């Protein structure tokens, strides 16, 4: 049979574990929030990379067009 002292000690252990769990839950929440922000930033950078590639392609095509026109004018 547990003495009152043992019960008290067990309750303290349980309270400490509960506090630790709350701390870990809080840390997990912070990590999830950070991960979310980083994912959003990654998506934004991917979109910007696609836009930049498209722009580079457009400029290359324009450059070719200008060069062809110059050759026509030289003839």
Residue 2 pLDDT grade (very low, low, confident, very high; cuts 50, 70, 90): confident
Tokens of 13: 């252990």
Tell me if residue 2 falls in helix, strand or coil. coil
pLDDT at 75: 85
In angstroms, the first-to-last Cα distance of the chain is 108
Q: What is the mean pLDDT of the chain?
A: 96
pTM of the model: 0.61
Q: What is the pLDDT of residues 35-67, one digit of tens each?
A: 999 999 999 999 999 999 999 999 999 999 999
């Amino acid at each position: 049979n547990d003495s009152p002292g043992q019960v008290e000690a067990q309750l303290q252990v349980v309270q400490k574990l509960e506090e630790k769990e709350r701390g870990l839950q809080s840390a997990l929440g912070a990590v999830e929030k950070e991960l979310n922000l980083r994912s959003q930033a990654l998506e934004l950078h991917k979109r910007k990379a696609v836009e930049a590639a498209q722009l580079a392609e457009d400029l290359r095509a324009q450059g070719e067009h200008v060069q062809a026109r110059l050759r026509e004018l030289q003839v």
